[in-house]
Structure 1
Amino acid sequence: MPVTNLMKDIVINTLDEVLKKEKNKDIDASSRDDIIAYVLNRVPPRYVTTERGLLYGILDARYKIQQRIDLLFLIYEAIEKISSRRDSEGGFKGAIDTEKTSYLPHIVGQVLEESTLSVIPDVEVSLKRGNSLAPMVDSDWENPYTTNLATQGHYHFWPLYTERDTAKGSSVTFTLTFRHPRFIEQSMDVSLEVFEKSDFGRSRFIPTVLMMSKESS
């Protein structure tokens, strides 16, 4: 098979998911091509030359959490720029809310067994605001999240900044809760700073949570 840039297919598929979810019908074929070019110019290419390499590359790239996050950021950034460009030319603004100026950082952490530091599958990790589960930026983000072996016990949230948070100043407090039938439940408060721009580099990395077995307590 000819040399293929795997990232092009991944970017196209991810963009199609975003446009379908946002129901943004104002992005025409030309704008779609501009978005694809914008993203591809900002991510390293991944060239493959065999069908097996293509399959492994898709599986590897598709499920790398950070890479998918980076692609989503770039896609939304491109949509915003194109929507703003059209608005300045007397056209329209796209369905994406370009006036949104406040974001909460991503929350990333890991849960391990206390004595062996091994991964505990099926830990239910919940992010709460007060007594309720915190809303996420979209339906692609799970809350609660269930840990698994494939992600080495890591969990990942991206909470939504809402109007009710505006009265709370420059930070918002959440509670992380960790539950598993064989381990003692744990909770911790997490204060997140509010930013004016979404930036994965400002993610909040939580110290590793070590869960104690109920049998050893």
Structure 2
Amino acid sequence: MPIRNLMRDIVVNTLEEVLKREKNESITGAGREEIIAYVLNRVQPKYVTSERGLLYGILDARYKIQQRVDILFLIHEAIHIISTRRDINIPEKKGKTAEESSFFFPHIVGQVLEESTLAVIPDVGISLLYEGSLAAMIDSDWENPYRTSDSTRGYYHFWPHHSEKSMGKGPAVLFGLSFHHPKCAAVQHDVSLEVFLKSEPVKTQFISLVLMSGGAGGRGK
């Protein structure tokens, strides 16, 4: 059996489930492949070389809730990007090239909910800050600030870029998360991200649940 990336099968099947459940018929062909590529570029590959390895790998990966949530989040994020793109034929404007670094951060996933009901709050503006300013992302596909929606169940996602020039080569870097909504008290939440060599596998760091309320002083849990 040739070497294959099991994660592709899982991503393809999960995407089909999402599109079928939401009755989304607008994304076909190239759009689906773009979503699959978007997700696979952001999850760690899982290679198998035998039929037995394939079976055990499917059972193992399928029921890892953390991995499942991460894939679902990325699929919804990719669908949102493609669906809101005004014209895919307009060439993308090239921004300033990010400084090369020998290190990287994990991509981070968190969730923000309403404090008393634990319900999703749509349109929460979330900013990842470094030294008081918006942190640079690893590429232009990652939004900062990010806005939550019902479709992603209040989850948010960032992948910050590591800059050796401004951040040095220490084992961790402190960032700030800022949560804003017109009907809720603002929340500030510090997060320390471990630094990894680029030769290491891509990692995900889950952030503690953040609760927002209409009163004074939302908080991270």
Q: Is the CA contact 1:135–1:160 (under 8 Å) kept in the aligned structure 2?
A: yes
Partner in structure 2 of residue 136 of structure 1: 137
Deviations 1:116-171 (A, max 9, x none): 00000000000000121000011111100000001001000000001234525111
8 A Cα contact 2:176 2:188, kept in partner = yes
What is the match of residue 158 of structure 2?
A: 157
Aligned positions of 1:10-159 closer than 5 A = 43-44=8-9, 46=12, 55=25, 62=32, 68-72=38-42, 100-159=101-160
Higher radius of gyration, 1 or 2: 1
Partner residue in 2 for 1:31: none
> 2:184 & 2:24 partners in 1: Cα distance?
41
Distance 2:4 2:44 in 1: 6
**Structure 1 segments of 4 or more deviating over 4 A?**
37-42, 45-48, 52-59, 72-75
Separation in 2, partners of 1:184, 1:142: 23
Aligned residues: 155
Q: What TM-score do you get using the length of structure 2 for normalisation? A: 0.57
- Structure 1 unaligned spans of 5+: 1-36, 76-96
Hey, which of these two has a bigger chunk of helix by percent?
1
Name the CA shift for 1:117/1:69 in 2 (closer, same or farther; >3 Å).
same
Shift, 1:214, TM fit: 3.2
Distance 2:195 2:217 in 1: 40
Root-mean-square deviation over aligned CA pairs: 4.2
Instruction: Give me the TM-score of the superposition, normalised by structure 1.
Output: 0.58
Aligned amino acid, residue 68 of structure 1: Y
- SS of aligned partner of 1:214: coil
CA contact (8 A) 1:182 1:214 kept: no
Contact 1:62-1:68 within 8 A present in 2 as well? no
Q: Secondary structure at the match of 1:119?
A: coil
- The one-letter amino acid paired with 2:181 is H
Give 1:70's aligned amino acid.
Answer: L
Distance 1:66 1:158, change over 3 A: farther
Q: Distance in 2 between matches of 1:203 and 1:110?
A: 14
Gap runs ≥5 in structure 2 = 46-97
Q: Report the AA paired with residue 39 of structure 2.
A: I
